[in-house]
Amino acid sequence: MIFLQWYGIGALGLAVGGMVALRVLYSLDWLAAWLIAVNGVGLVFFGLDKLIALVGGRWVRVPEAVLLGIVLGGGGGGGAVGMILFRHKTDKLVFQSLFWLIIAGEIAAVLWYFVFR
């Protein structure tokens, strides 16, 4: 449980820090900066979890709740690239179902926003 909190805080901190840096350095819109940052964090965290899975030992894996939280925060693109690139979490049916359900919900929200705004 404690690692869920630490990994979650780390992911959020990296995403917020990346968003601020992108906004300040490149004058990006806050939403564009957030999406770039959170997708980068998603890619990194999927890769980190795969690395820990391969190395094993005393390292604690990134909880699936953190990975799905990153996707829920808008990092689905980075998560999908991470799954494909690192061949990670591709055999876990429950995780895959939740992952793609979140992605479908986000696509529906974006379509709804642009159709009804």
DSSP state at residue 90: S
In contact, 68 and 98? CB cutoff 8 Å: yes
d(CA 70, CA 82): 12
Residue written as tokens 């979890």? 49
**Residue 29 three-state SS:** coil
Instruction: Tell me what pLDDT residue 102 has.
Output: 97
Predicted confidence (pLDDT) per residue in 31-79, tens digit: 999 999 999 999 999 999 999 999 987 889 999 999 999 999 999 999 9
With b meaning 16 or more CB within 10 Å and e meaning fewer, what string describes 76-86?
A: bbbbbebbeeb
pLDDT > 70: what percent of the chain? 99
Report the predicted TM-score, pTM, of the whole model to 2 decimal places.
0.92
Instruction: Tell me what pLDDT residue 33 has.
Output: 96
